[in-house]
Structure 1
Amino acid sequence: MIFPNNSHLFPHTFFLAGIPGLAAAHIWISLPFCFMFLLAVLGNGILLLLIRTERSLHQPMFFFLAMLSFVDLVLSLSTLPKMLAIFWFGATAISSHSCLSQMFFIHAFSAMESGVLVAMALDRFVAICNPLRYAIILTPVVVTKIGGLVMLRGVGLTISFPSLAHRLSYCGSHTIAYTYCEHMAVVKLACGATTVDNLYAFAVAIFLGVGDVAFIAYSYGQIVRTVMRFPSPEARAKAGSTCTAHVCVILFFYGPGFLSVVMQRFGPPAASAAKVILANLYLLFPPALDPIVYGVKTKQIRERLFTILSFNRIDST
């Protein structure tokens, strides 16, 4: 990633504060963070391997799930190692270009995750509201195009964040009050006008947050209407169960994100530790919990995983 040459205004190094006020507890805080990191890498790695190798899982729903696992894996690898280095070794320094690169990956892949959740809502909408045309509407070509659009949208909306932050002048503190290089946390350190950065970040947040959530809400509104027309409770329960995992993942992603935005905008200054913890949960919860939810709630994945584990157990004996 190439940035304009204005290094006399932009610092060579930033410092990540970790969790303000809780430096003495960083070692203990690192334990659940490390556990979630291992869950994210192992869980998403297994999901990707299962979907890649099992032909019965080569369906639109599992293609989108593979995209979700890939995005979660990238988010974990771009944030957790540096967080753990801060907690374990006090390695708070981060080069400016590493900071900007991390900023891009965090925001781009968070936007992609939101887009994947929209695509998964569309998949459930078609599967339940128009099941007879499911294979006609969501063909492999269409699904691939949707996946490409999700990726391009995520990159296109956020690629300007590092460049916007890089053009600013930083003449005061270079300490970011986070465990990672979040765009607005970096911009707040600038001593010049930041109106463009604030407006653009707000516009992207509204477009992704309000737009994507509105589409998901509309899709599930139609799904609920359709399910309620089913003649038997068993049919309604079966249809609803196919959406359970997706609804849980939506809550994991947008729940901490919404609370983090509210805390950032309206929370008191004294709650800085709570702000940082919520911001961390926004990045940590989905990658760690998504594979568990889909592994437990999705019959095809659960059965395939049990088959592999049973086969390995027989071989070992």
Structure 2
Amino acid sequence: MSFPDVRMRRLRRNESLRALVRETALEPGDLIYPLFICPGEGVRNPVSSMPGVFNLSIDEAVREAEEAASLGIGGLLLFGLPESKDEEATGAWSDDGIVQQALQALKQSSASKKLVLMADACLCEYTSHGHCGVIKQTGEEWDVENDPSLALLAKTAVSQARAGADVVAPSDMMDGRVAAIRKGLDGAGFSNTPILSYASKFASAFYGPFREAADSAPQFGDRRSYQMDGANAREAMREIELDLAEGADMILMKPAMPYLDIVRAARDRFDVPMGAYQVSGEYSMLHAAFQRGWLDQNRTMLESLLGIRRAGADFIVTYFAKDAAKLL
């Protein structure tokens, strides 16, 4: 059958019909809200390249968490800005690190009963050189050493679990990090703590504003020797397979919008909980258009998130989480 017997517009005539046959749903519980935690009290420093995003002291982060919980948002993803940095990323795995302190405070708040508290288990925010692992330097030559970095990542994850993290989320892209973290968690008595692996993290230009927010820009070189080449879709599937084999419970695609084909391919291939990270560059790019009146903010924001869900993501890490939840 075809036109005029078949008229596809029949089911688009009004919002009630459109809602009835809508294939993809977007709800506040699908959203994860990233927070950047910094030292101090009463601190709410705006990130200039990310409108509406702030570096927050722990007391302000608790207020944000309470608002997020009231909006029905699914969880928080915590990043830390330590008071000092060193080559061993001590602030990442210290039991009195900034994220560990924030987790302890959040666990004592009413928000913790409604939110999943996720901790980004990486080293770049805590190293003096800004890379995601241990650096070996010989003259002008340098490299991020894979295997020595695993011990620090495992220590970081264990420390975060001890502080109250419901989920640890390694984002470094070192080979073997999931297995090392799983072994560390199990050995420390945290066998029930899930690992959300940034299994497919590409070396992307869209991370630029995040590096201001997290004060994590590399002091030399770049991260292309450990984050993925944006041209490689099949390699992304191999990365995911390996992380799942090592014990990852969930996987995360990053970035989202420029890599929706990766999200779709992973959804079709892997029957595990999967998220996508709508990264800082995606957020800032849209806000630049909003500020110039080129795009309608509410419609564009929700459409961008719906597209990520339609591609196959079960949940979305996004800086739009609060604004979107208010509309939903």
Bin of the TM-score, shorter chain as denominator length? under 0.3
* Relative contact order, higher structure (CA 8 A, sep 6+): 1
Task: Return the index of the structure with the highest Cα Rg.
Answer: 1
Q: Comparing both structures, which one devotes a greater share of its residues to helix?
A: 1
Q: Comparing both structures, which one devotes a greater share of its residues to strand?
A: 2
TM-score (normalised: structure 2):
0.24
TM-score (normalised: structure 1):
0.24
